[in-house]
């Protein structure tokens, strides 16, 4: 029987919400199959647990029955064939998608299919960033993005005007000179959440197919071990791992090229890095945890375009990190703290440090009388040049924060993420034009990276972050960073190595001083569950816990005696607890409140025993960030 197809747009109209990104009309080819099953491909789309899905040809057999041995993974998955599949709807993924369709449309190949999967219910829902954006990459991708003559211009920008750098003591602040790389002239303060939504609209205009609410959970390989696409996770699985009445098998998306733009510490990127040994020539990655709030402050305190950064208090001298405050929009302030996850003291709680920071006079004077309207948290890449892995693998590539292109001393990564996506797009397009059937390996992408401004930027500042691993801690790092910024300018012939991996840097509780955090006042500082409520986080409770720990009791035995509940403190969302339980040998029971998870990935990175694996929950779940 001849192959058939049906327009995605017809199915999608059944569940599109007013806030959902539009999906360009495309066709999904259906492989030849018996007439008795073809009708099911035309069944109306339905909304399940907030996801946008359509019933596939195996729908009739997807419901639980009395057979307790039923394994849902034995059910056949529906599949779709595209030219390029991009995982992640952040700046890197959307830039890659737009550039690919620009190239295809310019060549007259409008049937070239570029599909983008995003685990959030809507584009931008999981995006957290400062953000002061250097517009160089966006100027190249969409030259009229901020033009007054463009009716679809991105309107939510605040030009950077004033830079302040302070070293904070407990009650005072000392002005510091602004390093050259932190010059923000020509940059813009904005909400990356809003920018990503706008980029999604531009992507649809050029014909990119965007599938929000689809959580890619598995890399697919051909018989030679080449990545041939991804699969999304199953829906309707109970907490015990059994199929419910709403069970639906995930989908497979097959592609000649698969680009992974999942952001920091992506779950699929972890699989690819391990399988292809992509870190064989690089150092381990290092990370920071960024915790952020958006405030609406009193108009008389608002200073449009103000950019302030701080070092020192409240963090101890053996802990890397710093605070920020950006004034943007109409009386809005972005305020946050980044804590390097190689901090040694297990009693330290990044969330508690952030609450203390806001009480410092330097920040409190702006926040007092204002209102906190949004909260978010996310890990970020800090490893820089030394930690960049091989970025191309058989059948695909790593892009953006997934690969680690953040310029940490510059406190910027959006422009490098976007540029990496564009370079990967150009390499993918060229490779596919010259290779119609064989394995695609993006050698050209690796070459483009090394010849790009990304490489130049990161190499120049390569020694700043690892310089903080010295006997003087913070002070030694600041001193060396000043020398390399003003004198060496990255031309020093040496390259420092990073210290221990973040999880291995954690000392035992008995080696460190216990930290007692003040009770929140409910005006400037808040308890953690109040903050989580401002993130819009939601997960269906009856599903497998996506924070995977094989044996919770064994985890307790490994962690509690040494670290006395470090998971309670490194998590910025109250996910982990040790609850008193006299029936347990240690008198405590390890508990995971997965519904609270804001998808920051801190646990996967910082857990000393590396016993927690962050995996994707059902698509469309997690935080629903606003203005972050």
- Active-site residues, by number, are 129, 378, 414, 571, 597, 600, 603
Q: For residues 229 and 216, what is the distance between their CA atoms, to the nearest angstrom?
A: 10
Q: For residues 234 and 251, what is the distance between their CA atoms, to the nearest angstrom?
A: 8
How is 548-567 classified by DSSP, letter by letter? Answer: E-S-HHHHHHHHHHHHSSHH
SS3 290: strand
Is residue 183 within 8 A of residue 307, CB to CB? The reply is no
Q: How many helices (H) and strands (E) does the chain have?
A: 16, 28
Is residue 159 within 8 A of residue 90, CB to CB? The reply is no
Residue 15, CA distances (Å) to 25, 209, 237, 425, 512 in order: 15, 16, 22, 31, 53
What residues pair up with 334 in beta bridges, in sequence order?
294, 326
Q: Which residues of 144-158 are buried (b: 16+ CB within 10 A; e: fewer)?
A: ebeeeeeeeebebbb
Residue 152, CA distances (Å) to 145, 148, 199, 205 in order: 8, 9, 11, 11
Contacts of 277 (CB under 8 A, 6+ apart): none
User: What does the H/E/C string look like for 28-97?
Assistant: EEECCCCHHHHHHHHCCCEEECCEEECCCCCHHHCCCCCCCCCCHHHCCCCEEEEEEEEECCCHHHHHHH
What residues pair up with 216 in beta bridges, in sequence order?
232
Q: For residues 270 and 263, what is the distance between their CA atoms, to the nearest angstrom?
A: 11
């Amino acid at each position: 029987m001849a192959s058939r197809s049906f327009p995605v747009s017809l199915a999608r109209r059944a569940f599109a919400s007013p806030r959902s990104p539009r999906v360009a009309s495309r066709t999904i080819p259906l492989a030849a199959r018996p007439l008795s099953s073809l009708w099911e491909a035309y069944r109306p789309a339905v909304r399940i647990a907030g996801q946008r899905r359509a019933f596939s040809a195996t729908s009739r057999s997807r419901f639980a029955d009395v057979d307790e041995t039923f394994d849902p993974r034995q059910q056949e998955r529906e599949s779709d064939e595209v030219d390029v599949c991009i995982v992640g709807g952040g700046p890197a993924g959307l830039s890659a998608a737009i550039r690919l369709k620009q190239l295809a449309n310019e060549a007259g190949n409008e049937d070239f299919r570029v599909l983008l999967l995003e685990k959030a219910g809507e584009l931008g829902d999981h995006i957290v960033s400062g953000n002061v954006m250097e517009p160089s990459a966006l100027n190249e991708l969409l030259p009229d993005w901020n033009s007054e003559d463009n009716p679809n211009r991105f309107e939510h920008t605040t030009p950077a005007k004033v830079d302040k750098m302070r070293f904070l003591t407990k009650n005072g602040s000392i002005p510091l000179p602004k390093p050259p790389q932190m010059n923000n002239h020509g940059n813009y303060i904005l909400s990356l959440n809003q920018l990503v939504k706008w980029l999604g609209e531009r992507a649809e205009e050029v014909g990119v197919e965007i599938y929000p609410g689809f959580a890619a959970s598995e890399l697919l390989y051909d018989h030679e071990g080449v990545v041939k696409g991804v699969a999304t996770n199953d829906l309707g699985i109970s907490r015990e791992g059994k199929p419910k009445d709403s069970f639906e098998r995930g989908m497979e998306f097959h592609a000649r090229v698969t680009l992974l733009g999942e952001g920091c510490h992506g779950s699929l990127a972890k699989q690819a890095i391990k399988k292809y040994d992509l870190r064989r020539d690089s150092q381990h990655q290092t990370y920071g945890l960024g915790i952020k709030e958006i405030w609406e402050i009193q108009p008389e305190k608002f200073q449009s375009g103000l950019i302030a950064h701080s070092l020192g208090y409240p963090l101890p001298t053996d802990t890397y990190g710093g605070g920020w405050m950006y004034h943007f929009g109409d009386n809005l302030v972005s305020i946050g703290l980044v804590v390097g996850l190689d901090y040694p003291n297990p009693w330290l709680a990044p969330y508690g440090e952030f609450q203390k920071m806001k009480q410092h006079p330097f920040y409190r004077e702006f926040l007092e009388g204002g209102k906190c309207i949004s909260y978010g948290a996310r890990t970020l890449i800090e490893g820089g040049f030394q930690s960049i892995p091989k970025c191309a693998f058989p059948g695909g590539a790593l892009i953006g924060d997934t690969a680690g292109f953040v310029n940490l001393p510059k406190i910027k990564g959006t422009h490098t993420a976007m540029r990496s996506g564009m370079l990967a797009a150009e390499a993918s397009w060229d490779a596919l034009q010259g290779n119609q059937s064989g394995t695609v390996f993006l050698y050209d992408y690796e070459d483009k990276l090394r010849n790009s401004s990304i490489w130049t930027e990161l190499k120049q500042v390569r020694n700043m972050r690892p310089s903080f691993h010295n006997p003087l801690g913070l002070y030694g790092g600041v001193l060396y960073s000043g020398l390399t910024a003003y004198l060496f300018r990255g031309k020093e012939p040496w390259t420092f190595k990073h210290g221990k991996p973040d999880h291995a840097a954690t000392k035992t509780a008995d080696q460190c001083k216990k930290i007692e955090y003040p009770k929140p006042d409910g005006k400037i500082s808040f308890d953690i569950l109040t903050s989580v409520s401002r993130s819009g986080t939601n997960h269906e409770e009856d599903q497998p816990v996506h924070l995977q720990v094989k044996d919770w009791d064994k985890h307790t035995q490994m962690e509690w005696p040494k670290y006395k509940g470090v998971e309670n403190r490194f998590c910025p969302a109250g996910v982990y607890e040790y609850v008193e339980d006299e029936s347990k040998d240690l008198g405590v029971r390890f508990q995971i409140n997965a519904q609270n998870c804001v998808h920051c990935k801190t646990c996967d990175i910082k857990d000393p025993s590396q016993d927690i694996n962050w995996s994707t929950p059902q698509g469309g779940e997690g935080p629903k960030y606003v203005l972050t």
